[in-house]
Structure 1
């Protein structure tokens, strides 16, 4: 049976996931920063893990305002706005320096720093977080879906913006991606004054 990966809609659960990523792993700072970057940029995990240090930081180690990449899955160009995650990246850069991991990849494997962490490795990390917190809907797409959901909620349900950020071509695809199931739809409809 295929696991259903959903966005984290509850802020308390989100903080628990972030705290667990940061404090329950030897490379917790890396794992946490992967999650933060994925959530803030709405990139697929494959694109987050393929980021290089020089995509994100200038030669002095400062976070660039934007990063320009091509999505692996779609081949479409993508302009990443990094300001929402700049503080996390700044702290992470210091962690990389401290552990002598400033090589090519932004998110290197701790076992083989010449390579980036794999999707399979990050899936195992998210699965362990799910086990520790007894949450059955976490996966590698959790960060992207959570970021999309937060943008949707905090922009007054601006579906066009979320579609653009996700590089989706249909509103239906985006609504399904956000995990807006029947229960959520009914909850929203309960708040409407139909007069």
Structure 2
């Protein structure tokens, strides 16, 4: 049976996931930073893990405000706004220096720094977090879906913005991606004053 990956909608659960990523793994700072970058940029994990150091940091070691790439899945151009994760990226940079990990990849394998961490490795990390926290809906798309859900909710349901950030071409696709089922829709409708 295929696993259903959903966004993390509850902020308390999100904090637990972030803490688990950071504290329960040898490369916790890297895993946490991957999650934070994915949540803030809404990139697919395949695009995050193939980011190079020079894509995100300039020659002086400062985080770039924006970086550009083409989605591996769609081929569409994508401009990433990195300001929301500058603090996380700088803390990650310090961790890499402390661990003496040098690589062209932003998220290198700790065993083989000349290679980036694989999707399979990060999937195992997310599954372990799910097991530790008794959550059965975590996967590599969790960060992208969580970021999209948070943008949707905090932008007063601006579906156009979320569609743009996800590079989706239909509203229906985006709503399904956000995990907006009938119960979620009814909950939102309960808060509407129909007069």
| Residue 34 (structure 1) aligns with | 34
| Residue 13 (structure 1) aligns with | 13
Equivalent pair of 1:53/1:102 in contact (CA under 8 Å):
no
2:169 counterpart of 1:166: no
| Residue 104 (structure 1) aligns with | 104
Equivalent pair of 1:9/1:149 in contact (CA under 8 Å):
yes
2 CA distance for matches of 1:11 and 1:190? 20
Compute the displacement of 1:189 (Å): 1.4
SS for the counterpart of 1:67 is: strand
Compute the displacement of 1:136 (Å): 0.5
Equivalent pair of 1:56/1:67 in contact (CA under 8 Å):
yes
Unpaired runs of 5+ residues, structure 2, are: none
Compute the displacement of 1:124 (Å): 0.3
2 CA distance for matches of 1:80 and 1:162? 14
Compute the displacement of 1:186 (Å): 1.0
SS for the counterpart of 2:108 is: coil
| Residue 84 (structure 1) aligns with | 84
Alignment of 1:56-71 (within 5 A): 56-71=56-71
2 CA distance for matches of 1:193 and 1:36? 35
2 CA distance for matches of 1:190 and 1:147? 24
| Residue 175 (structure 2) aligns with | 175
2 CA distance for matches of 1:62 and 1:99? 19
SS for the counterpart of 2:102 is: coil
Q: TM-score, normalised by structure 1?
A: 0.98
Q: TM-score, normalised by structure 2?
A: 0.98
Equivalent pair of 1:34/1:48 in contact (CA under 8 Å):
yes
SS for the counterpart of 1:58 is: coil
| Residue 194 (structure 1) aligns with | 194
| Residue 139 (structure 2) aligns with | 139
SS for the counterpart of 1:68 is: strand
Q: How many residues align?
A: 195
In the TM superposition, structure 1's runs of 4+ consecutive aligned residues that sit over 3 Å from their partners are: none
Deviations 1:105-131 (A, max 9, x none): 000001111000000000000000000
2 CA distance for matches of 1:4 and 1:175? 15
2 CA distance for matches of 1:52 and 1:97? 16
Deviations 1:155-185 (A, max 9, x none): 0000000000000000000000000001101
